[in-house]
Chain A
Amino acid sequence: MSDPAIRFTNATVRYAGSDRAAIDGISFDVIPGELVVLLGPSGCGKSTLLRTVNRLVPLDAGKVEFFGSDVAATDPVDLRRNIGYAIQAVGLFGHMTVAANIGVVPSLLGWKSDAIDARVDELLTMVDLDPARYRGRKPRELSGGEAQRVGVARALAARPRALLMDEPFGAVDALVRAELQHELLRIVRDLQSTTLFVTHDVDEALLLADKIVAMQSGRIEQIGKPSDLLDHPESDYVRTLFHSGDSLYREYFLHVRAEMREQ
């Protein structure tokens, strides 16, 4: 077994003024190339856990390692430039064009401008947007789905060693979401990208995940492959979440999963 891309060891975060920990003693590994979904209701700590990886949230106890090095000992700016980051609100920079948004990390890293241009075109094509039409657009001229594609392209721009995604498809309608999910799977598979993906949507988790981390109240309820959680829930919480015993639900998702991966 290869060394983990991300290793959480007893990761704990307490927010000031809150009586319980936002995340409480979380430990697990993310294997390189794996897509791991952090699943749970809002307030369960899944976003907090994600944000400890790129040090947007500091740990109060425990350790997070990124490809073997303790993130707490890594310069946060350098660390973040090696980790793609995409969020539900997208956060495209309103005063920059689509091309400038996608090129932001390469330009911070000092890439030459023709290398950035070529990379921007490559990424726009990858997320299925015509470079000629979209390079010069401003974020306000994009639909929600288009903005989210640009957000994903921006996260991937500097060939990061891992990708952190916080409910990236939470704000788009169901049809666009399905499209984006398909494309994410294709991209992540092509790039062999290690991905940590936060969602509260059980269906989305079942479709996308190699491994699901089901969370509640800052703790892990269960970790496993989607079929493990469907077939062998270890708590009532997981049983309810995954409609255990509903064989139609199980068959449907295992079928769609397989289908998405054939295309």
Chain B
Amino acid sequence: MSYLTEHPGRVAVLALAHIELVGAALIVACAIAFPLGLFAARRPRVASWLLGALGALYTIPSLALLAVLVQLFGLGPLPIFVALVLYAQFMLARNVVAGINGVDRAQIDAARGLGMSPRQVLARVEVPQALPVMIGGVRVAAIAAIAIATLGGYVGTSGLGVLIFNGLTLHQLSLIVAGSLAASILAIVVDALLRLVERRARNALG
């Protein structure tokens, strides 16, 4: 705790680096998972295959996955970035599928019956209606990513993990506690913010 108050500047720099890494990974992860999820949502067989594969990926221990990725990409930010993108896929895609499949059938029937093309039904009805659930997926993925991103400290990436792994190397408990605490606070804040966005979206839906 004392480290946080004594070195606020250092912690802030690492926290910002942490946010940057997680944010960038989530943007890339959404860019992959949303189209995948939308494609799978109306194809039950594709969906079960896709979510099965992503779920299996999700069960690989993060340290083991990171070790493999370091073999492929070397040290630095790339392996942890790729790991974050991969881990987020399951929760993001799953919530897109669940969100789209949960849309009120009557609204879809009306949309088709009134003459929306399949693409218009998706863009004007299904996605807006599924948005809260999709945002929920982003929220869960973001929290997990904030935790997993601390492993970046082990492979030479800036972020709050640096404090934890330095603490481990130097046998300084205060560093480990500071890094863990800062990451937890970050996760709680992000969770609260995205909950707010989710609620806004839900209210807008009516």
Query: Are A and B bound to each other?
Result: yes
B111 within 8 Å of A (CB atoms): yes
Q: A95-B128, A140-B206 are in contact. Are A77 and B109 (CB under 8 A)?
A: no
A87 within 8 Å of B (CB atoms): yes
Question: In the complex, which residue of chain A has the Cβ closest to the Cβ of B120?
Answer: A108
**Which of B109, B124, B128, B204 is close to A91, meaning CB atoms less than 8 Å apart?**
B109
Q: A87-B106, A91-B107, A95-B128 are in contact. Are A104 and B206 (CB under 8 A)?
A: no
**Which of B109, B115, B125, B204 is close to A81, meaning CB atoms less than 8 Å apart?**
B115
**Which of B107, B114, B125, B129 is close to A80, meaning CB atoms less than 8 Å apart?**
B114
Binding site for A on B (CB under 8 A): 104-117, 120, 124-125, 128-129, 204-206
Interfacial residues of chain A within 210-251, with CB under 8 A of chain B in the complex: none
What residues of chain B lie closer than 8 Å to A89, measured between beta carbons? 104-106, 109
Question: In the complex, which residue of chain B has the Cβ closest to the Cβ of A107?
Answer: B124
Q: A105-B114, A108-B115, A154-B114 are in contact. Are A91 and B104 (CB under 8 A)?
A: yes
The interface centre, meaning the residue of B115, B124, B204 with most chain A CB atoms within 10 A of its CB, is: B115
Q: A78-B115, A81-B115 are in contact. Are A87 and B205 (CB under 8 A)?
A: no
Contact with B along A137-161 (1 / 0, CB 8 A): 0111100000000010011000000
Q: Within the assembled complex, what's the spacing in Å between the Cα atoms of A141 and B205?
A: 12
What residues of chain A lie closer than 8 Å to B108, measured between beta carbons? 91
Q: Which 9 A-B residue pairings sit nearest by Cβ, starting from the closest?
A: A91-B110, A89-B106, A81-B115, A80-B115, A85-B113, A91-B106, A138-B206, A140-B206, A94-B206
Q: A77-B117, A139-B206, A140-B206 are in contact. Are A93 and B111 (CB under 8 A)?
A: yes
Q: Report the minimal beta-carbon distance from B65 to chain A, rounded to whole angstroms.
A: 38
Interfacial residues of chain A within 24-55, with CB under 8 A of chain B in the complex: 54
Q: State whether B106 touches A90 (Cβ < 8 A).
A: yes
A191 within 8 Å of B (CB atoms): no
Q: Report the minimal beta-carbon distance from B204 to chain A, rounded to whole angstroms.
A: 6
Binding site for B on A (CB under 8 A): 54, 56, 77-82, 85, 87, 89-95, 104-105, 108, 138-141, 151, 154-155, 164
What residues of chain B lie closer than 8 Å to A138, measured between beta carbons? 206
What residues of chain B lie closer than 8 Å to A85, measured between beta carbons? 110, 113-114
CB within 8 Å: A-B pair count: 71
What residues of chain A lie closer than 8 Å to B115, measured between beta carbons? 77-82, 105, 108
Q: Report the minimal beta-carbon distance from B79 to chain A, rounded to whole angstroms.
A: 40
Q: Report the minimal beta-carbon distance from B57 to chain A, rounded to whole angstroms.
A: 33
Q: State whether A94 touches B110 (Cβ < 8 A).
A: no
Q: Report the minimal beta-carbon distance from B157 to chain A, rounded to whole angstroms.
A: 40
Q: State whether B107 touches A93 (Cβ < 8 A).
A: yes
What residues of chain B lie closer than 8 Å to A81, measured between beta carbons? 114-115
Q: State whether B110 touches A87 (Cβ < 8 A).
A: yes
A sample of 30 cross-chain residue pairs with beta-carbon separation below 8 angstroms, ordered by A number, consists of A54-B113, A56-B109, A56-B112, A77-B117, A81-B115, A87-B110, A90-B106, A90-B110, A91-B104, A91-B109, A91-B111, A92-B107, A93-B110, A93-B125, A93-B129, A94-B104, A94-B129, A94-B205, A95-B129, A95-B204, A95-B206, A104-B114, A104-B116, A105-B114, A108-B114, A108-B116, A140-B206, A151-B110, A154-B110, A164-B113
Q: Report the minimal beta-carbon distance from B105 to chain A, rounded to whole angstroms.
A: 8
Q: Within the assembled complex, what's the spacing in Å between the Cα atoms of A83 and B114?
A: 7
Q: A93-B107, A139-B206, A140-B206 are in contact. Are A87 and B113 (CB under 8 A)?
A: yes
The interface centre, meaning the residue of A78, A95, A151, A155 with most chain B CB atoms within 10 A of its CB, is: A95
Q: Within the assembled complex, what's the spacing in Å between the Cα atoms of A219 and B184?
A: 66
Q: Within the assembled complex, what's the spacing in Å between the Cα atoms of A216 and B113?
A: 25
Q: Within the assembled complex, what's the spacing in Å between the Cα atoms of A103 and B156?
A: 56
What residues of chain A lie closer than 8 Å to B114, measured between beta carbons? 80-81, 85, 104-105, 108, 154-155
The interface centre, meaning the residue of A78, A81, A93, A140 with most chain B CB atoms within 10 A of its CB, is: A93
Q: A94-B205, A94-B206, A140-B206 are in contact. Are A80 and B113 (CB under 8 A)?
A: yes
What residues of chain B lie closer than 8 Å to A151, measured between beta carbons? 110
Q: Within the assembled complex, what's the spacing in Å between the Cα atoms of A104 and B125?
A: 11
Q: A108-B120, A139-B206, A140-B206 are in contact. Are A92 and B110 (CB under 8 A)?
A: yes
Q: Report the minimal beta-carbon distance from B201 to chain A, rounded to whole angstroms.
A: 9
Q: Within the assembled complex, what's the spacing in Å between the Cα atoms of A140 and B107?
A: 13
**Which of B104, B116, B204 is close to A77, meaning CB atoms less than 8 Å apart?**
B116
